[in-house]
Structure 1
Amino acid sequence: MVFKDITLYTEKVKQDMYASGAALVIMKDNHIVHEWYSGTHHFEKGARNIDSSSQFNVYSVRVTYVSLAFAIAIYEGYIRLEDKLSDYLIEFNKEILGETTIRHLLTRSTGLKIKNNSVQRVFKAGSAIEGKRPDLLANILLNITGKTVNEILREKVFKPLNLTSTEWVTEGKNNLVCDIHSPDRCPTLRVGSNIGDDRNLYVSAKELALWGNLHLNKGSYKGKQILPKEIFNYVTTIQSPTSLPKHFPKFGFLWWIKDNEFSWEYNELGSDLPEGSYQILGASSCSCTVIPKLNVVAVRMYNSLYEDFDYVKDIQRYSNLLVSSLKNL
């Protein structure tokens, strides 16, 4: 079995992090070459088995959805990468925002700490990296286009691809996989608005793989160009400012991009991934890995928010196992 090792590893991690369910979908050359499901939606009695219709909360994976909507707005001329944040975040101190641009926000290098109605300068823009702020991007997007992230993507992506298991969830339903916080806590569901700015995006493993595959094919789906290639060139190639030190991780529009100059100790990308590969990882350990040089997309789903687990070491080992498995195809 070509994917035996990575499947066994995925099951082992499910147990190690106290997840109740897991899924693995691998696509190569636009076809699913491996599909695997394990466990249940939670640990309580009567829990539904994980299957192809199970929707997992993907947490930070959602930032790639926000960034694609933003890339569409850039392509359509609503905003430019080098526009200053102060032109859009008018409620904050303009002097502190300074020369910080939309590029800095999309590549996690603003150097700003924004909380409630205040902003602080933590480091010089473009000199280090920070956490993701998809909420700011979503708010800017709404102000400049009059549309939410969800509205843009539903029109431009979800409907053309017939994605019916991808949604910002506003209420519970039986195909949603619950979050497991620890072995002794009750399972939960995270629901909210369907604007697209919060951590309530639930996606099936297959549809997350299709999402990655749309990026791999630069907007082409079943021979039809759904979105212009230029949009995906923004999103999936290095956009980090040139001022960023070479040893720091590089980003497209919030995707981690494999760059062989990168040597910083915090690294979500396995050492064996080819240069140009890109990946996103969520708090529940859901991930989407795209390897253009091998024409591969791999999606892994879990439902654990257990904190006592080395997520970085795990995702590195997983992506290296993925590459070694693909050599046997």
Structure 2
Amino acid sequence: MLPSFKGNNNFSLILNHVNQTFNQVICSGAAVYVIHNDSIVLEEYIGKHSNKPNARKVQKDTQFHVASVRKSYIGFAVAYAVYYGYIQSMDDQVLKYLPELEEAIWKDTTIRHLLTHTHGLNHRAETVFREYPVGQNWTYRQVGIDALTKIVKTTTGKSVSDINHELVFTPLGFSESNWYAHKHQKLVEVILSGEGDGNWKTPESIEGDKMNMYVSARELAFWGYLHLKQGIIDGKQIVPKEIIQLATSVHSPRNIDKDLPQNGFLWFVKELPAKKSEIGERVPKGSYQILGYTGVTLLVIPQENLVAVRMFNSFGSPEGYDYLSDVRSFGDTIMSCL
């Protein structure tokens, strides 16, 4: 059974933090959802789906564009492929699975490098190029994500979306987590900085390989809760625990600078103290987090048996707003409530 609501005023500081961010970024709607000790202790919805007259209010079934938070679902699909042997090792070279790629560019790049943002590749238009030697630094680039989704489809015969629906969405009855080719009334509009929503294009692919995933606050929290509980819901092993453990353990190359972010299967994981970590200083070791450019954050803190979600329909950071400082502060505020 998924958690039920038991409000707790101890978490009011988190709502205050989300309201402060809501007033700093360019958005029309927000939500916050916190599960602690197997109960929903905070659930609040703020604003509307857009700035248009008579726009729908943000509510329980409102789905936010999660941007890069989708990478936790991609990481899950890769963990599935590794666990079931479709991918033999995360240290296999990418070229083993995608031999059509240019060997001179992709040589020595492994699946581990893609999962931990240490592959050193970037692209301009349709051309992939190398920014730095493989495994020597950390950069957040789309080219690695594109390769991972192709590897999943090539090895398993299933899309990222197929795997998530089969293992999680269908068994748990999720109806507010999906990739969409077309908008509908439950999807918020993404508020661009003074440009209106008309420039925001929705890709047509619904295979989980594009940035068109929308999720409600409650289902994003339940997604985190499934990870917190190592795949067990209501006493039933919904997902093999090894898939969850693969996804949320640190897999960054050992020789990487220790002050760079540490990653599992695309999740940010709190392991060693790291100056460039995107997780709050007070958040304990073993916690993991995923972020989106729309302001969406999912933080799982196993040591405190806690999952926290905040959602906005903003896009990017307006002048004067420090996104990374704010998201670290979100985690630290949670810790101050415990």
Q: TM-score, normalised by structure 2?
A: 0.92
The 5 A counterparts of 1:1-329 are 1-79=9-87, 80-115=89-124, 118-132=127-141, 133-182=144-193, 184-188=194-198, 190-192=201-203, 193-264=205-276, 267-308=277-318, 309-325=321-337, 327=338
Higher mean C-alpha displacement, 189-198 vs 222-231: 189-198
Structure 2 gap ranges (5+): 1-8
**Could you tell me whether the CA contact under 8 Å between 1:190 and 1:199 is conserved in 2?**
no
Quick check: 2:258–2:272 contact (8 Å CA) kept in 1? no
CA displacement 1:195-227 (0-9 Å, x = unmatched) = 101111000000000000111111111211011
Q: Distance in 2 between matches of 1:190 and 1:291?
A: 34
* 1:53–1:130 CA distance, 2 compared to 1 (3 A): same
Deviates more, 1:78-87 or 1:284-293: 78-87
Cα displacement string for residues 138-178 of structure 1 (whole angstroms, at most 9, x for unaligned residues): 11111111111111111111101110000101212111111
8 Å contact kept, 1:180–1:306: no
Moved more, 116-125 or 237-246: 116-125
SS of equivalent to 2:43:
strand
Q: CA deviation at 1:191?
A: 2.5
**Which residues of structure 1 form unaligned runs of 5+?**
none
CA separation in 1, counterparts of 2:195 and 2:247? 38
Closer/same/farther in 2, CA of residues 5 and 261 from structure 1, 3 Å limit: closer
Q: Which amino acid aligns with 1:6?
A: I
User: Which moves more between the two structures, 225-234 or 200-209?
Assistant: 225-234
Q: Deviations over 1:258-305 (max 9, x none)?
A: 1233123xx311111001111011000001000010010000000001
Could you give the per-residue CA deviations for residues 59-108 of structure 1, whole angstroms, max 9, x where no partner exists? 00000001101100111101121111121232222233222211111111
Contact 1:91 1:117 in 2 (8 A): no
Distance 1:100 1:200 in 2: 27
The 10-residue stretch of structure 1 (252-261 or 185-194) with the greater mean CA deviation from structure 2: 185-194
Contact 1:271 1:316 in 2 (8 A): yes
| Aligned partner of residue 10 in structure 2, secondary structure | coil
1:306, distance to aligned residue in structure 2 (A): 4.4
Query: d(CA) in 1 for partners of 2:81 and 2:105?
Result: 26
Note the C-alpha offset of 1:190: 4.6
Identify the residue that residue 5 of structure 2 maps to in structure 1: none
State how far apart, in whole Å, the 2-side matches of 1:89 and 1:100 are.
Answer: 11
Deviation for aligned residue 1:20: 0.6
Measure, in 2, the Cα distance between the counterparts of 1:194 and 1:164: 15
Assess if the C-alpha contact under 8 Å between 1:21 and 1:39 holds in 2.
yes
Distance 1:114 1:290 in 2: 32
- What is the aligned partner in structure 1 of residue 3 from structure 2? none
Q: Secondary structure at the match of 1:251?
A: coil
Runs of 4+ in 1 over 6 A off after TM superposition: none
Deviations 1:213-271 (A, max 9, x none): 1111111112110111111111101011112122211100111111233123xx31111
Contact 2:294–2:315 under 8 Å retained in 1: yes
CA 1:262/1:147 → structure 2, altered by over 3 Å: closer, same or farther?
Answer: same
User: CA RMSD of the aligned region, Å?
Assistant: 1.5
